[in-house]
């Protein structure tokens, strides 16, 4: 053996960390992609059956068609959150996060790898929900750029939140609390199942303070060309939230919060 | 002064208890803390086989954690091969291979995948020749494609050693690598580590098996309550107790320090 010198190479460890994070959910694709798709379709079937003829949104658009982008976005949000949060908490509880912490991977690379993997998982789930839904219901796309932009930004936001939650939680039940008391209400009360215009004025006002509302609203604009708020306002809010969360997550990582004590 | 394989200067470490409530943070309530390391100065030259000994809770793992970047020193600085562990962390971590104390692994992957991924974290692609060599030397060749979950404790320990070596680090830190390991593995592990040392690697070892330290280490530091209480060659330490063995020397040094502290 001729070791002695540390290997002078230049490639970043980011690619491998990203690859590992992708592999982690791909290997259990039945749980991480198929299961959420089934959940979304169940919502679609039940709500479409019950509400199809009772709810009118955006004029001529049938309720089922209206619902599909909402369900796609809800699945993307939840899965983008789940990917880094579950990965981090598992690695921390089992202790194998040390293998990443011992390497030259910087905090920025760490952040990018986890968030990008979350975006890929979010987009994969969203795309599969869409493809399966297309078998039953037609869904036109008016402005694909908006669809892609909001899908990516929303997944990234939830990926960062998942990263923060994964850093903050020390036990699985803390992570579950984060998910049940923050993520679930924020997604359910954001207009997945309805246009906020059918809400009483007070709850409309409340919805406008929920950043998740803007991800769904902007995403829906991409499909129908109509939405509750202007897509530019939605883009501004979502981008602002993205920047704020990025700053918070990077500060936590740089301070070594619960990782490098 | 030229660089050393490992160098600590005035390292202090206090673990502050976290705030219980968020409003305590806002009110900046004073927090209690546990002093783990007090003014540690240590220099380990290239090619040394160095032992770090001390009772449980003496601060050995804290010191190693600071070196590896797993923890930040409260004050003071540390270098690996002349690279500061905070400001030049990429180079310092490239120069360092750490075998952690706890038996940790990722149950998602096989042994080979684990080692490939670990290589990738260090930016190394196509590292399979070296991985094969490490696997062979650690008696892991037949387990290369086994899932980590299916391995026995001893085998998992070997994989930990392999993971620390994937990037061919010039400095290797072993934190109690033989805790709970059978005789066979202990012997083969020490043969392998001794060979790496002969080839020029610097080894820093912590262990509670003092006969291992006596047989392997050229120089030894003993720590107690976060301070270095003895630092000398193994021979000189043994001479202090008239050759009665390192265990005797250890017991005596610890007792003397305890008495000196009590008197002070």
B65 part of a folded domain: yes
Q: Is A108 on the interface with B (CB under 8 A)?
A: no
Four-CA torsion A217, A218, A221, A222, nearest 10 degrees: -140
- pLDDT beyond 50 at A70: yes
- Residues of chain B with C-beta less than 8 angstroms from the C-beta of A9: 122-124
B211 part of a folded domain: yes
- pLDDT beyond 50 at A3: no
- pLDDT beyond 60 at A7: no
Separation in Å, CA of A132 to nearest CA in chain B: 29
Binned at pLDDT 50, 70 and 90, residue A236 comes out as: very high
Residue A196's pLDDT is 82
Across the range B95-122, mean pLDDT stands at: 93
**Top-confidence residue, A54 or B126:** B126
- pLDDT beyond 80 at B18: no
Separation in Å, CA of B253 to nearest CA in chain A: 30
- Please state which of the ranges A108-112, B42-46, B189-193 shows the lowest mean pLDDT: B189-193
**What global pTM score does this model have?**
0.91
Expressed as residue numbers, the domain containing B203 is 6-95+169-263
DSSP per residue, A174-240: HHHHHIIIIIHHHHHTTTSSS-GGGS-HHHHHHHTT-HHHHHHHHHHHHHHS--SS-HHHHHHHHHH
User: Under a CB-based contact definition with an 8 Å cutoff, are residues B47 and A79 in contact?
Assistant: no
Binned at pLDDT 50, 70 and 90, residue A156 comes out as: very high
Least CB–CB distance from B120: residue in A5, A6, A15:
A15
pLDDT in tens, B126-156: 899 999 999 998 889 999 999 999 998 888 9
Least CB–CB distance from B117: residue in A1, A4, A16:
A16
Task: Please report, for the domain that includes residue B45, its CATH number.
Answer: 3.40.50.300
B233 DSSP β-pair partners: B219
User: What percent of chain B has pLDDT above 70?
Assistant: 100
State ipTM: 0.91
Quote the number of domains for chain B.
1
Binned at pLDDT 50, 70 and 90, residue B242 comes out as: confident
Least CB–CB distance from B201: residue in A3, A13, A27:
A3
């Amino acid at each position: 053996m001729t070791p002695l010198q540390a290997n002078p190479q230049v490639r970043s460890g980011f690619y491998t960390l990203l690859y590992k994070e992708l592999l982690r959910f791909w290997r259990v694709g039945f749980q991480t992609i198929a299961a959420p798709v089934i959940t979304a379709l169940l919502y679609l079937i039940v709500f479409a059956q019950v509400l199809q003829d009772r709810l009118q949104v955006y004029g001529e658009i049938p309720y089922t068609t209206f619902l599909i982008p909402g369900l796609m976005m809800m699945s993307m949000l939840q899965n983008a959150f789940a990917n880094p949060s579950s990965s981090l908490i598992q690695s921390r509880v089992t202790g194998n996060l040390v293998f990443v912490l011992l390497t030259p991977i910087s905090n920025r690379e760490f952040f990018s790898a986890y968030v990008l993997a979350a975006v890929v998982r979010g987009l994969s789930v969203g795309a599969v929900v869409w493809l399966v839904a297309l078998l039953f219901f037609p869904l036109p796309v008016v402005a694909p750029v908006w669809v892609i932009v909001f899908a990516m930004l929303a997944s990234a936001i939830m990926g960062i939140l998942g990263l923060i939650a994964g850093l903050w939680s020390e036990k699985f039940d803390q992570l579950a609390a984060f998910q049940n008391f923050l993520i679930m209400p924020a997604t359910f009360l954001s207009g997945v199942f309805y246009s906020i215009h059918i809400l009483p004025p007070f709850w409309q006002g409340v919805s406008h303070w929920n950043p998740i509302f803007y991800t769904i609203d902007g995403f829906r604009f991409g499909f129908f060309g109509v939405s509750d708020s202007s897509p530019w306002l939605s883009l501004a809010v979502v981008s602002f939230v993205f920047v704020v969360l990025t700053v918070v997550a990077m500060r936590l990582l740089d301070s070594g919060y619960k990782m490098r004590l | 002064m030229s660089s050393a394989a490992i160098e600590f200067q005035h390292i202090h470490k206090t673990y502050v208890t976290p705030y219980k409530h968020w409003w305590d943070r806002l009110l900046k309530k004073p927090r209690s803390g546990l002093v783990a390391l007090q003014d540690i100065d240590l220099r380990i030259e290239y090619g040394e086989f160095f032992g770090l000994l001390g009772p449980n809770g003496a601060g050995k793992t804290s010191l190693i954690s600071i070196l590896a970047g797993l923890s930040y020193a409260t004050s003071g600085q540390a270098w690996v091969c002349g690279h500061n562990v905070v400001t030049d962390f990429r180079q310092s971590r490239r120069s360092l291979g750490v075998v952690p104390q706890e038996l940790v692994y990722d149950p998602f992957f096989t042994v080979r995948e684990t080692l490939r991924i670990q290589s990738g974290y260090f930016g190394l692609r196509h590292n399979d020749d070296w991985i094969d060599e490490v696997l062979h030397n650690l008696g892991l060749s037949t387990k290369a494609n086994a899932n980590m979950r299916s391995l026995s404790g001893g085998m998992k320990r070997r994989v930990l050693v392999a993971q620390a070596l994937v990037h061919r680090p010039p400095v290797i830190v072993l934190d109690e690598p033989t805790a709970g390991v059978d005789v066979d593995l202990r012997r083969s592990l020490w043969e392998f580590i001794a060979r790496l040392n002969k080839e020029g690697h610097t080894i820093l070892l912590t262990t509670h098996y003092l006969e291992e330290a006596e047989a392997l280490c050229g120089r030894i530091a003993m720590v107690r309550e976060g301070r270095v209480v003895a630092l000398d060659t193994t021979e000189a330490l043994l001479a202090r107790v008239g050759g009665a063995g390192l265990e005797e020397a250890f017991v005596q040094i610890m007792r003397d320090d305890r008495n000196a502290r009590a008197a002070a």
